[in-house]
Amino acid sequence: MQLLDGVLVSAHIKEQIKQEVKEWQAGGGKQPHLAAVLVGNNPASEAYVGSKVKHCEELGFGSTLVRFDATITEAQLIKEVERLNNDDNVDGILVQLPLPGHISGDSVINAINPDKDVDGFHPISQGRMLLGQPSFLPATPYGIMLMLEYYKISTAGMHCVVIGRSNIVGTPMTILMSRNSDPGNATVTMCHSKTKNLKDFTLNADIIIAAIGRPKYVTADMVKPGAIIIDVGINRIDDATKKSGSRLVGDVDFDNVAPLCSYITPVPKGVGLMTICGLMKNTLLAAKLRTGKK
């Protein structure tokens, strides 16, 4: 079994990005700038956004964190997104999800200028991706493709089972894994919470991408020996042995699955770090495209 090491791969990609930003600015390019919008104070969202802003600093990007109380109305939030659309210094906009229940995430995402949609969530970005046109890829699926590329894992002809059908991970993952490209080019089955006899599918999978948001959902009896396991889950569970009283686990029962498979991503230090790489690459690309050079 080989660990797909998010620390190693993200460090390598971040170094490349840092270098590219330096060269871009040395040639007169503008400093890439990411605006992150955070509504309310969900602790997980706070941590994710904090990490994104910190990475901007590390890689030489500018950043703005725009915070709003959970009571902001949908109309007010859309106005704020439009303000960022019109701010020429801002290259990329991300609105951290989930949003409070009274705000439609779709309406807010639809308000983002697709040229600044560095999360790749806008219908235009997703449509372009579906058609195989150049687009901002959603950050997590993009990060997973970068991870496969780094380890030179060619999945052509493999059977890939994606568990989960969210707009931000499961659905785009099925598209990227089934494109006529490398990595990708797999035969893809999408499974989800209503799939009957999930094990019948997963036992036939050469690669499993688990993105269902349930702790240790994929167990050893569901995995074919030698399979590749990509774990997208970040679930907090109680653990009395930890000072904090809890710890993070993925959607895969790592301890029992790892000995069986050929490659596996750990949680933490796996896919989560790759998401940041996807986001930062998109933001740099947005800056370059917006200022007319590639």
Told to check if 140 binds ligand GUN by CB under 6 A, we report yes
**Within positions 247 to 286, which residues make up the interface with ligand GUN, using CB under 6 A?**
275
Contact 257, 274 (CB under 8 A): no
| Dist CA 286 CA 116 (whole Å) | 6
Is 96 considered catalytic here? yes
Is 238 considered catalytic here? no
Of residues 35, 56, 59, 94, which one binds ligand GUN by CB under 6 A?
94
Alpha helices by DSSP H, listed for 27-63, are 43-59
Contact 77, 103 (CB under 8 A): yes
| Dist CA 235 CA 226 (whole Å) | 25
CB of residue 49 to ligand GUN, shortest distance in Å: 8
Q: Which of 14, 52, 216, 281 is catalytic?
A: 52
Which residue number, 8 or 97, has a Cβ lying nearer to ligand GUN?
97
Interaction pattern, residues 149-178, with ligand GUN; x per rule: CB under 6 A:
-------------------x----------
Is 269 considered catalytic here? no
- Single-letter code of the amino acid located at 188: V
Number of chain positions touching ligand GUN (CB under 6 A): 9
Pairing of strands 159-163, 235-238: unpaired
Of residues 139, 176, 212, 249, which one binds ligand GUN by CB under 6 A?
139
CB of residue 39 to ligand GUN, shortest distance in Å: 11
Interaction pattern, residues 96-115, with ligand GUN; x per rule: CB under 6 A:
xx------------------
Residue count of the chain? 294
| Dist CA 68 CA 38 (whole Å) | 6
| Dist CA 255 CA 223 (whole Å) | 13
Tokens for 26, please give them.
Answer: 């040395």
Closest residue by beta carbon to ligand GUN: 97
Stretch binding ligand GUN (CB under 6 A), from 10-18, 88-96, 154-162, 283-291: 88-96
CB atoms within 10 A of CB 75: 9
DSSP designation for 292: T
CB of residue 110 to ligand GUN, shortest distance in Å: 14
Which residues does 67 contact at the CB level (< 8 Å), separation at least 6? 38, 39
Binding footprint of ligand GUN on the chain (CB under 6 A): 94-97, 119, 139-140, 168, 275
